A and B are shown apart, each in its own frame.
Chain A
Amino acid sequence: MSQEKREIVIPSQLLGDAKGNKAGRGTFIENGKIYSEMLGILSKRSNYINVIPLKGRYDAIEGDFVIGIIQEAMASSWLVDINAPYPALLHVNEVPWDVEFGETEKYLNHGDSVMAKILQVDVEKKLQITLKDRNLYKITGGYITYIEPSKVPRLIGKKGSMISLLKKHTRCRIFVGQNGRIWIDGDEDGIARVIYAIRKIENESLAFGLTNRIEELLKKNIKDV
């Protein structure tokens, strides 16, 4: 986030007139006025008034990369928990393997984790995901942790600056799903340091100068902290 002054807004807060402004994300219009519908940070960009949510469940958008956990293997599909209000459906046609009818458990089972992409979100918010992409697969090894979805942009940083910092200093592979789930792989010490840094980023996500503080933290050995 840039160094603009950050203002916290709450639901029902008056943000501006509908005349001359456009109601963006996280807002609603009533009687010609724009109000916030969320607890969040006010963001004004070229007449668009937006509220960036501070909290809340993951709101799936087609094309998002997410980490899912298999809930249930059914005859020709799987139900996957992607930390949205609803589980997503993964159909056998959307995986890179040739799965026979009723043989879904051979490939993915309850508790397995996958890197997936949101394929479709319909009107009723029914979700479908896919594994058919170069970078998508069943995850093995490593560790999975979690951060509020609203804090994912902070964890990634401007042009990936924050996440690159974490990868460089810990030599770990890190994948951040838009749904707040994070996969880390490396040696135990590296993983522990990444987890520690993530917790710090989570607690201080709104503060300025965070990237520098995290860099300082990573340069030290975690045992000295």
Chain B
Amino acid sequence: MTITPSIKRDYLSKLAGQGKRADGRTFNEFRKIEIETGLFSKAEGSARVKIGKTQVVAGIKILIGTPYPDTPNSGVMTTAVELIPMASPDFEAGPPREKAIELARVVDRGIRESKIIEVDKLCLEPGEAIWMIFIDIHILDFDGNLFDASSLAALAALHNAVIPIERLRPDLEKLQDKFPSVKKYLEEHPTDYTIPLKEPPISCTSVKYNNVIMIDPSLDEEDIAESRLTVATDKNGDIRAMQKGLNGSFTVEEIKNIIKASIDNGIKIRENLYKSVGK
């Protein structure tokens, strides 16, 4: 386990008390964000996001599956995050532990609850066949703020994703013999097409230490953080998802300020995302 020397904690805390951050950013400033899409030919959609030195890739696989019994007309979406040992000397190989699971579930909720994927448009035959969308996120280089990097990578990959009619044509043709609605679907969608998406929510994470709040924590800042709050906002400035982490606390006032900073940064990041995916 990498140990942070207590001297470093004290120094960062002192800087914070003076309104400064170690890398010179303001409290409401994100590090440089780079978004690249369409990297992997095998994936139906893919993206790589860098926030500062943190680097994350996301891949989308789309397969034909069966719907959940209680939502027979809906496509299915799942999100998984792998904190692979490559990303940090402290990540161990093995099944996902709580950190990875929390990360995956928060990213998943942000996408699912915003209804960015129109799952009712992913039905092939009610009760029998639907499209399943798998979002797999790999952390490659860990330098703080995995929540926002993962969320952004998942969104960028989704914007880049196509329904693989061509690759799965043999399976679809078998289905259309059984189910007339699949036949109709194939007439409407004769070839690969991009997943229909609505406006994406953007996630912004802030941490608190020494009674100071800062957005987009670097690795060192995450190390000394007492509490953490992730807020996902949409283009109207409404809130779509929130998650508080770590064992410190926030005042109501602090939460309101974090929401405001998240909305402001959300607008800039959404612009960056649209530019990168060519919207």
Contact present for B8 and A110 (CB under 8 Å): no
Q: Which one, A24-32, A139-147, A212-220, is touching chain B? A: A139-147
A143 CA to B5 CA, complexed, in Å: 9
Chain B interface size band reads 10 to 19
For residue B7, CB closer than 8 A to chain A, the reply is yes
Q: From known contacts A188-B15, A188-B18, infer whether A110 and B7 are also in contact, taking CB-CB under 8 Å.
A: no
Answer whether residue B20 sits at the interface, using C-beta atoms and an 8 A cutoff. Answer: yes
Q: Decide: B15 and A110 in contact? CB cutoff 8 A.
A: no
Give the residues in chain B near A119, CB-CB below 8 Å: none
Contacts of B6 in A (CB 8 A): 111-113
Q: Does A105 contact B (CB under 8 A)?
A: no
In the complex, A141 Cα to B5 Cα: how many Å? 11
Known contacts A110-B3, A111-B3; is-contact A144 B18 (Cβ 8 Å): no
Instruction: Select one of B4, B7, B9, B20 contacting A140, CB under 8 A.
Output: B7
Docked CA distance A70–B7 (Å) = 12
- Could you tell me the dominant secondary structure of chain B's interface residues? helix
User: Does A71 interact with chain B (Cβ within 8 Å)?
Assistant: yes
Residue from A81, A143, A188, A192 in contact with B7 in the complex, judged by beta carbons closer than 8 Å: A143
Which of A166-225 touch B at CB < 8 Å?
A: 183, 188, 191-192
The answer to the question of B185 belonging to the interface, with a C-beta cut-off of 8 Å to chain A, is no
> 1/0 per position for B1-44, CB-CB distance to A under 8 A?
00111111111001100101000100000000000000000000
User: Chain A contacts of B10 at CB under 8 A?
Assistant: 141
Q: How does the 8 Å CB contact mask read for B130-162 relative to A, with 1 for contact and 0 for none? A: 000000000000000000000000000000000
**Interface size counted on chain A using CB atoms at 8 A:** 18
- Asked whether, in the complex, the Cβ of B7 is within 8 Å of the Cβ of A139, the reply is yes
Contact in complex: B3, A71 (CB < 8 Å): yes
Q: Does residue A23 face the partner (Cβ distance < 8 Å to B)?
A: no
Please report the C-alpha to C-alpha distance between residue A110 and residue B40 in the assembled complex, in whole angstroms. 44
Are B5 and A69 neighbours in the complex by a CB distance under 8 Å?
yes
Q: Report how far A111 CA is from B223 CA in the complex, Å.
A: 12
- Contacts of A140 on B, CB cut-off 8 Å? 7
> Among residues 60 to 103 in chain A, which have CB atoms less than 8 Å away from a CB atom of chain B?
69-71, 81
Q: Is the CB of B8 within 8 A of A81?
A: no
Q: For residue B14, which residue of chain A has the nearest CB?
A: A188
Q: Which residues of A contact B24 (CB under 8 A)?
A: 192
How far, in Å, is A216 (CB) from chain B's closest CB?
20
Specify which chain B residues have a CB less than 8 angstroms from the CB of A70 in the assembled complex.
3
Known: A188-B15, A188-B18, A188-B20. A144 touches B3 (CB 8 A): no
What are 16 of the A-B contact pairs (CB < 8 Å)? A69-B5, A70-B3, A110-B3, A111-B5, A111-B6, A112-B5, A141-B7, A142-B7, A142-B11, A144-B5, A144-B8, A183-B7, A188-B14, A188-B15, A188-B18, A192-B24
Task: Using CB atoms and an 8 Å cutoff, list the residues of chain B in contact with chain A.
Answer: 3-11, 14-15, 18, 20, 24
Which positions in A face B, CB cutoff 8 Å? Answer: 69-71, 81, 110-113, 139-144, 183, 188, 191-192
